[in-house]
Structure 1
Amino acid sequence: MYAILDIETTGGKFNEEGITEIAIYKFDGTQIVDQFISLVNPEKAIQPFVVNLTGINNGMLKNAPKFFEVAKRIVEITTDCILVAHNANFDNRILTTEFRRLGFDFERNTLCTVELSQKLMPEQSSYKLGKLCRSLGIPVSSRHRADGDAIATVQLFKLLLNKDTSKEIVKQAIKIENSKKLAPKLLSILDELPSTAGLFYIYNSEKTIIYIGKGKNIKKTVNQLFLRTSKKAQIIQNTVITVSFEETGNELIAQLKYLEEIKINKPKFNFKAKNNFTKIEFSNENLLVIDKGRSIGEKSVLLIENSELIGFGYTELSHQINNIEILRNLVSPMENSLSNRNTVKNYLQKNTVEKLIRF
């Protein structure tokens, strides 16, 4: 679970700043499950340049709650969560300082979307939130206000999760808990899984992925694995500590990600299939395959350009689909391999997608 946040402050000397606004979105990896947004009375004056930047002035905060009045809610919404922010060191330092003034030791693990973006999208020219979101077609409703920046960071983080094929982000969020007996443990794992299309990742006590599976119903597929009696299935059942999942919205993306992530993560109990084909041609050189996304209003997009498979991504905005430059930034690159091309061609021959756009 992630607590994605943004904080606005008064400005001033290091560790003497006060919080003027905070927005926190609790995010389960797929959707927002809770949120907290509030102005905060910092009990000190706001620096003039900050007023010009954020539009928040001293008068707006006169009747706002003081930090000690919102502290309990912040603790509640961030408990058992990793803090995620754009420049996370700053937001975490400000929160830690405010809680220290109250005599409370506030400790949370953090992830920084600046650092993640630099690692997963090295081609970007700028990693400032506004410029980065503009290049990715992510709207920012109120720049330099906590709510607007936090919700933009949620959308950016969803994109980064999709691009993180080695699952380093998810591994940081895994908690190792091996005190339960086998049967209740497996039942508990199943309770947390969705009945939607996607992939699942089985981890051992060392946070190593030992098996990757896919299906149009993740919970049903994992349940079937837990009921099998083969030697391999029994080893997995006895070794599993936790299972993470990634919803894909449709089976085509699940199949493509499955092939890609087995190659990247090399799970112990997966075996690479042999290719029995030599050449795969697409019916059109430039093609967008539009299909169901992971939530209502979202669409998956598969990009084929100059007869090459470029990659896939997700969008909720039509202008992102209509702008090829934005799409190139949005998609997670995918190998233009025979197996991937064969997967796409077979799927399109046997299934109906929402839309095919030739350009």
Structure 2
Amino acid sequence: MLYAVVDIETTGSHASEHGITEIGIVITDGKRVLEFYETLVNPEQPIPPFIQVLTGIDDEMVASAPLFEEVAPRIFELLQDKVFVAHNVNFDYSFVQHHLRHAGFGLNTRKLCTVRLSRKVFPGLAGYSLGKLTRQLGVTMERHHRAGADAQATAEVLHRILGEDRGGHVEAMLKSKQHQQQLPPNLSETLIQQLPTGPGVYYFHDAHGKVVYVGKANNLKKRVLGHFAGNDTGLKRQSFLGHIHEVTFQVCGSELMAFILEHAEIRRLWPLFNYAHKHPVEAFSLYVFEDVKGYLHLVLDGKKKHLEPVYTFNMLVEGQSMLRKLIQQFDLCPRMCFLDRTAGPFLYEERGEAVEAYNARVMEAVASLRKSLPTFAVVERAEGSADEACILMEEGRFYGMGYLPRGVPVPQVEELKNMLTPYPDHDYIRGLIYRYIQRWPGKKIELATV
């Protein structure tokens, strides 16, 4: 078996927008070097100053170097039919494959990552960057951050790995479907193997333990691995993968519970890479307030953080339609409900109506609205548990969710609330629940309210 050990220097971190400035390739049979190739490459774009300082490669050095298209045939010849090896292989492979594709060559080879293999074969080292690893293994490296020297050092690391691999890690990695090769370089495969296959919510953490992404899944392991499939070389994806150092999870009794928990956790944690749920939802609420004379008013307004609404609406027009019905049904004053902005006396002033009489009709209207709002539980078998998953909607609002002993009748609302974990209500969550019971009406249990 032949290995092509590769190292590259680039103008940036993602292949779709950055170029290669230098490439080094070492061909080895696993014991000795058979061929060595190294060349500077003109990236056709400026090299950022910090990269010039890091690598020592500047714009003047690559000005007369060949374009990648010119050296692509030779590079493809060296790489095809060999195992592609690199330190953090996904980075080097994504760049080389991308630029070869643009030059008309399709690279599709097996891969080995010396970072991951070193962690398995040489556990407990102080660090696994190429610089730290070579020092700890006693491997000579003359010019760090130059492609040829780094490729030669990586080849020697590969030789050490192959010589010390008593656990068959190299063979296992080559025989696998290569999913471990697709994992972010800082994410341990052990954490992936510990993921369950049932529904739940997963959390990606950065190097400091901060949650940078929250997701939900019907199959946690499959969904997490799905993030690392494909060869997207864009900036957004590469930045996302680079931030992932750890994955944790929370098992849920059903996919619906996972959907709800995901939304609640995103709004609680505000992770860096969650975009879809961060957009504000246009929502309006109906409030009751008392004026200086003691009369009650109904008003539609945007959602207020510290006020308890009578009801909430996704759109202003929904709230206005409902309020007009209440005005007509309970003989309320349109001006006191702020649907009539014309000047003139209030209804109670025209009639000489006492505070108590008018307020009684307002509260009757509020009570009728609340009474019309549904109170029910969604109950279904909790996957992987002897309990049943339960979600409570109280008077049209999401209250919370949790678990009930299987076979025990669902208790009355107040007792049930003591058995569940409360979560913030939100239009998005309510929509999820209503759509779910439309699909599975048999899981809905109507509950009486006092």
Highest Rg: 1 or 2?
A: 2
Scaled by the length of structure 2, what TM-score is found? 0.37
Bigger RCO of structures 1 and 2 (CA < 8 A, at least 6 apart): 1
Scaled by the length of structure 1, what TM-score is found? 0.47
